[in-house]
Structure 1
Amino acid sequence: MRKGSYGSTRLIAAALMAGALAGCSTLPSAGPTASQINAALRKDNQTGFKIVEIDAASGPSLAFTPPPVGGLAKLDQPGRIDTVGPGDLLEISIFEVGVTLFTAGSTGSSAQGGTFNPSARGTQLGTVKVDGGGDIQLPYIGRLAASGKTTGEIERMIERGLRGLSQRPQALVSVKENAHNVFYVSGDVRQPGRYTLGLPRERLLDSLARAGGTVNQPDDMVVRVTRGSVSEESRLSAVDASGPQNIALLAGDRVELFNRPRTYLVFGATDKVSQVNFGATNLSLAEALARIGGPSERLADPAAVYLFRYAAVAGDTTGAQPVIYRLNMMRPDSYFLSQRIGMHDKDLIYIATARANAPAKLAQILGQLFSPILAVRAVAR
């Protein structure tokens, strides 16, 4: 290569370097640096966020708090599950002695037209269905209002209806198929379906056990109970066997179990931008950082780890406000503090890019630019 050509190459290289230096502030980046976040606080704060340093003073307010109890306890109310309702199939038997009405027997007749039988006998009337209006129809007795009554009450109604027609009649009523005192379980359970309420009153966790339990981790599951037109829900992990959330079920209740994992987001100078499941009832900020491998050694500024969250501010009645909590991992005490800070569902962790990365990126870009030129020069020799 001639000397003049080599000089032109040097001029081109110098021009490229000058342009690269001028555009250093626009080099590719995973996000803003700590100084850029501080500048946005003063100049371009459209959401009204504020930055709070995580230290010994602010740390206790960010400590683990009990998970919200949920609203299932609001549905707890007294009720009966031993009454008959529309759709139920009843088995009815009549026992008679002396003058009988239903039993075909020996000779002789009573004044009422029945048959005299000195021995006690029983007659099954077969299966009787409670109609949509809550009534049953029986021979010689007629229509009886059965809905809302127990089997014992229906027995006494039948016996009163047979007075004067049979001597000392006794009735026995049992529920063959229950269509009224049932509950429904659906969603992420092993055996969804319709189940009959047992005695004593069945509770929420009992109903889930009958349905085979959940197919996922309880920490990721939400249970919803619908009673009439009212629905309430809670995390399954927050329903304790002896707690107020483990309500007693009533006829017609619908229990739904669905997967709604708690997650947090990770952006910035990390090896991978990701959405991460909690996978536990409580998760600390230290554990959340460890699950993503911590700040990247090549890119991150460990003194600028941020936790973005909508938080209730003391004395502010306008609702949750955007707050950025800053953790300086260059301070040893920050590691103690981060172990006591509880993560919330949908929190966002941002790890700021180190300013020192800009020269390294510039050198990498220049190396990619000049490598072909140097290769051509070597071949020309």
Structure 2
Amino acid sequence: MKQITLYIANASLPRQIVPLLTGLSLLAIAGVASPQPTVAQEQIAQNAAPPPSGANSSNATGTYTLGGGDNIRVDIFDLPQLSGNYQIPAGGVIQLPLIGSISIQGLTLEEATTAISNAYAPVLKRPQITVSLQATRPLNVWISGEVNRPGSYSIPLSSGAGNVPSVQFPTLVQAIERAQGVTQIADIRRVEVRRRAGGVGQAQVITFDLWQYLQTGTVSADITLRDGDAIFIPTAPAVNLAEARQIAISTFAPPPSQARTVAVVGEVTRPGRYVVVGGDTLSAQSVQGLPTVTRAIQLAGGLKPQADIRQVQVRRPTSAGSEQIFSVNLWQLLESGDVNQDTILQDGDTIIIPTAAEINPAEISAIADASFSPAKIQINVVGEIVRPGLVEVPTNTSLNQALMAAGGFNSSRAKKSSVELLRLNFDGTVSRRIIQLDFTQGINEQTNPLVRNQDIIVVRRSATAGVVDTVNLILNPTAALLAVPSTGNALLSLLNSLGLIRLPK
């Protein structure tokens, strides 16, 4: 600073003029001591701290707070030896020339500029300082609730092009995608973002309606994230099948190709645990499609004839450790094409196919033709039948139809009033039933039941045929010993030797 000495040379000036000259002299001294910024200086002050703006105006420097990992530059006008680049360490305290330590943790760029200017004020006369953000740290956010992989995620900020690139803050949807999407029971109308605000322990809770975003593409508030945000997605109070399907095909849900392990129990051919993916389970798993209830039933071998497809139950675990139970009506899917009933599965689901209390014969053919029913089943028809042996019939075939598929009775030898039905149960036991035939009746459990896979139908010989066989055996025993039994009769003899049936002597 220049030293200026004021001399009032003419002491004979009027006394009234002396104060005026003194005031003008002081103004001149102030102008010399504090020069006005030049045009170049104003341009430097304006360009030194460009705001890192993103896709939304609220991403300006006023909302970004500094923290450990950020790279900043501190410029002090006309003092390049005191200017420099700094990486903010954990804790937010940096070391500056002349003033030493200063904390800028949690401050915006404007607040950091003010804090550094105040720290330099005792050392420098009217310091002109700018703080600019050179590189941002990754944002650390926590995601919990109804997402497939809850936990902590580090999300880097993306930069644009140019010498002074802009900064794109990650959005709420991008964070959910990193957590592998929401579950099928997520309440996306009440997604909460907890954000640090004010002093220690204080937080601001912001609620977003992602369903509105999914439907209209508009949001009522900014959904860009900040460092330290905690995202919570609550559990929906009930399952809406139509909304669940729309959520499942959105970008913030798991991809259809992602495998899901589910359990299928009840009235299916092979109950157990299965890995379900998108595609046609019966042909190729690589084609497009969604992992739905019917695909899981296909993997389990299809439905049994006694299945109640109106009350298929899905038990779904929640993030809180409980489970939600809801029903789907696959008959409504067959009758009206309501694809919402064929709900998309998530990992850990259990599908329960109940037993129907009453079978409606009119619905049997429709269920048998469905893609989630087995195409064919195999039964054995032995004894006095035209084509004894293994017979392949469509699913949900009745006893009368099975006898016709084997060619019908041997008219001269068969006992046409009744047959014996042998069934292998799932617990390893074998059940035997004598069924009185009535070809005028439709499907019913007493006279015309539905046959199951691996059932054995035994058609006995009539009393007359038994007498004839006995007489022939007495008259020609050698011919009886040399006769080659048919496949059906050989099976009949085997069952007799095992004690499962008793043939007449």
TM-score bin, normalised by smaller chain: 0.3 to 0.5
Question: TM-score w.r.t. structure 2 length?
Answer: 0.34
Question: TM-score w.r.t. structure 1 length?
Answer: 0.43
**Structure with the higher fraction of residues in strand conformation:** 1
> More relative contact order in 1 or in 2 (CA 8 Å, sep 6+)?
1
Larger Rg: 2
